[in-house]
Amino acid sequence: MYLGIDCGTQGTKVVILDAEQGHIRGEGYAPHALISEANGRREQDPQWWIDAFEQAYRQALAQSCIDSQAIRGIGVSGQQHGLVVLDASGAVIRPAKLWCDTETAPQNAQLLAQLGGADGCRAKLGLELATGYTLSKLLWLKQHEPEAFERIAHILLPHDYLNYWLTGAIAAEYGDASGTGYFDVRTRRWAPDVLALIAPDGRLERALPPLREAHEAVGLVRPEVAARLGLGQQVRVSSGGGDNMMGAIGTGNITDGIVTLSLGTSGTVYACTHQAPAETAGGLAAFCSSSNAWLPLICTMNLTSAANAVRQLFGFDLDQFNIQAAQAPIGCDGITLLPFLNGERVPALPDASGSMLGLNMQNLTPANLCRAVLEGTSFGLRYGLELMRAAGIEVRQVRLIGGGAKSALWRQMVADIMNAPVICPRIGEAAALGGAIQALWCDSLARGQDVSLQALCERYVELDETSALNPSPAAVKAYQTAYDLYRRRLDSLHPGA
């Protein structure tokens, strides 16, 4: 048995994979609280992650009806970019600033300017700094909480912290590290000279964890944690990775031609490539994967969060919302929604707010507004897919995950807007499944078994053929017209975005 953990923004999910039978034996989930303020602050106490993990783990264990001693490995997926700082004793100094924290936008702009703008940043790191990356959080901490900054002994990401709690080992891996802003994605090394812009004395460089390859273990579960969880004494913890990296493994997106699209709180589009990427532009981040390759990716800040805001505005449940959206025509009778309710990462508009354009007395209906939020959020992802295609990335199939993928209407909309076949994996908790598969991979190699990650994905990632949809030529044409209008209106409010 192998445990997969996905520590996300809204909660922590746990799955137990039966490696012999080839299916999930148990699942669990527990929510997280969120520190949220109008100035863009988004933070969580790392202890909340531990508490949620234990709750979700016990749910999964109870559902599985297995002996916890049968668990041989653990793989952790975590929300990317979050800053967890520890003091010399290993204690957490302050709440973690999260990926969706936009309070650090001024610090990101300052660092981007120091690096020579977007071009200089790409030359230095292979990608462009975005608000939300870990680097700007460190500068914010120095400027706003200097006493806490002075206590920093270790700099971790959320999944690194969970690995640390499980094993006592300080470590990082290439995939999650590549989203920090102080890591060169081409050479796969830390970039200490970037950290020196914040602390010239090298103290931040000394606080960086050593890097692990994707197939390497961080260590064994600590005896006291093993006893607390009812585990054996030789449970191996794999390197883990960021949620998008582990979601790629959990959707079988480890070969060219497959694209994963996540319709979650945020929206992401990412694809695997085995060649070091050339410099990219337009918000396409050439991250490393957690499968020893690269994972070019774009992330939008607003997706189901925006859809839920519109749904709740009218007091609709999910079924009512989908019925309303389905009644409206493609293009929503001329309404365009720019859904930047939490600012936006791609395009880089951290201080933007949402806009509803093209309203008149004839088209102002609940149906049009419900559909407009689905179209507006999907158009942002369409832009990301266009960046990938422009970079030479093949798109043979889109694999949908996230809460929005449960909507047949939204799935067909994605197929038509992206002009590509779509399908959903049977197991929707892709990042947690990816963690379990990576743990199995790591444990097998450590035991001397010659097994490839590709073979494991082929066995454990099953696609739901009943969810498969192809684009409709007529709808593709209609959405192209609506997308062109979306781009024009976006440019009119945010020139050059």
How far apart CA 431 and CA 5 sit, in angstroms, is: 8
Q: Is the dihedral of CA 472, 464, 263, 299 positive or negative?
A: negative
Q: pLDDT (tens digit, 9 = 90+) per residue, 443-468?
A: 999 999 989 999 999 999 999 999 99
Give the pLDDT confidence score for residue 346 in this predicted structure. 86
Give the pLDDT confidence score for residue 340 in this predicted structure. 95
Give the pLDDT confidence score for residue 94 in this predicted structure. 98
Give the SS3 label for residue 133: strand
Estimate to the nearest angstrom the gap between the alpha carbon of 108 and the chain centroid.
Answer: 20
Please say whether the beta carbons of 435 and 6 come within 8 A: yes
Residue 262: strand pairing partners: 268, 401
Could you tell me the pLDDT band of residue 239, with boundaries at 50, 70 and 90? Answer: very high
Residue 268: strand pairing partners: 262, 299
Give the pLDDT confidence score for residue 282 in this predicted structure. 65
**Residue in 176, 243, 416, 443 annotated catalytic:** 243
Give the pLDDT confidence score for residue 270 in this predicted structure. 94
347 or 415: which carries more pLDDT confidence? Answer: 415
- The stretch 310-329 carries a mean pLDDT of 97
Nearest one of 53, 43, 47, 41 to 11, comparing CA atoms? 53
> Does 114 have pLDDT greater than 60?
yes
Nearest one of 129, 139, 130 to 83, comparing CA atoms? 139
How far apart CA 152 and CA 207 sit, in angstroms, is: 7
- The stretch 147-172 carries a mean pLDDT of 98
Q: pLDDT (tens digit, 9 = 90+) per residue, 24-37?
A: 999 999 999 999 99
Please say whether the beta carbons of 291 and 213 come within 8 A: no
- The stretch 196-201 carries a mean pLDDT of 97
Class of domain 252-428+462-497: alpha beta
CA angle at residue 392 from 387 to 397, to 5 degrees?
Answer: 80
Please tell us whether the domain made up of 2-243 is placed in CATH 2.60.40.1730: no
Q: What is the mean pLDDT of the chain?
A: 94
Give the pLDDT confidence score for residue 350 in this predicted structure. 85
Could you tell me the pLDDT band of residue 280, with boundaries at 50, 70 and 90? Answer: low
> Does 82 have pLDDT greater than 80?
yes
- The stretch 261-272 carries a mean pLDDT of 91
The question of whether 243 is a catalytic residue gets the answer: yes
How far apart CA 244 and CA 237 sit, in angstroms, is: 19
CA angle at residue 241 from 238 to 245, to 5 degrees?
Answer: 125
What does the block give as tokens for 441?
A: 């991979």
Estimate to the nearest angstrom the gap between the alpha carbon of 483 and the chain centroid.
Answer: 25
Q: Per-residue b/e over 383-396, b at no fewer than 16 CB within 10 Å?
A: bbbbbbeebebebe
> Does 319 have pLDDT greater than 90?
yes
Q: How is the chain split into domains, by residue range?
A: 2-243, 252-428+462-497
Please say whether the beta carbons of 166 and 222 come within 8 A: yes
How far apart CA 19 and CA 9 sit, in angstroms, is: 28
Could you tell me the pLDDT band of residue 255, with boundaries at 50, 70 and 90? Answer: confident
Give the pLDDT confidence score for residue 54 in this predicted structure. 98
Could you tell me the pLDDT band of residue 181, with boundaries at 50, 70 and 90? Answer: very high
How many Cβ atoms are within 10 Å of 484's Cβ, its own excluded? 11
Give the pLDDT confidence score for residue 279 in this predicted structure. 57
Could you tell me the pLDDT band of residue 330, with boundaries at 50, 70 and 90? Answer: very high
> Does 442 have pLDDT greater than 90?
yes
Number of helical H runs and strand E runs in the chain: 18, 25
> Does 292 have pLDDT greater than 90?
no
Query: CATH topology of 2-243 equal to that of 252-428+462-497?
Result: yes
